[in-house]
C-alpha cells in the first residue's frame, strides 16, 4: 500500500500554492587546487582517483580508499 487515503479533497488552489513554494537550491561547492588546477567539488563526497592516462582507479575520502571504481 502507498500510505493512507486522503481524509478530504484538497482544492486545486491549495495544491498549486503549496507546490509553488518549492525552489531549487544552488549546490554548495568547495574550491580545491589539484596539480595546479582549480577544481570545484561538493563537500563530503568521495573523490575519484585516476592514473596518468585518466583511468579511474578507486574512490578516496579524507585520504583513505573507500571503494573500487
Residue extents of the structural domains in the chain: 32-68
pLDDT digits (tens, 9 = 90+) for 2-43: 788 989 999 999 989 988 888 899 999 999 887 788 989 899
Question: Considering the entire predicted model, what is its pTM?
Answer: 0.48
Give all strands (DSSP E) within 6-61, no chain letters. 30-34, 37-41, 47-50, 56-61
Q: What grid cell was written down for 3?
A: 500510505
Q: What grid cell was written down for 47?
A: 573523490
Taking the C-alpha atoms of residue 60 and residue 66, their distance in angstroms, rounded to an integer, is 6
Secondary structure element (H or E) that encloses residue 17, with its range: helix 12-19
Mean pLDDT across 35-62? 89
pLDDT score of 18: 87
Amino acid at each position: 500500500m502507498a500510505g493512507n487515503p486522503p481524509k478530504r479533497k484538497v482544492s486545486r488552489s491549495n495544491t498549486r500554492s503549496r507546490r509553488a513554494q518549492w525552489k531549487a537550491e544552488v549546490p554548495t561547492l568547495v574550491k580545491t587546487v589539484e596539480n595546479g588546477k582549480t577544481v570545484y567539488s561538493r563537500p563530503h563526497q568521495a573523490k575519484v582517483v585516476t592514473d596518468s592516462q585518466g583511468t579511474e582507479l578507486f574512490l578516496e575520502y579524507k585520504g583513505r580508499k573507500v571503494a573500487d571504481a
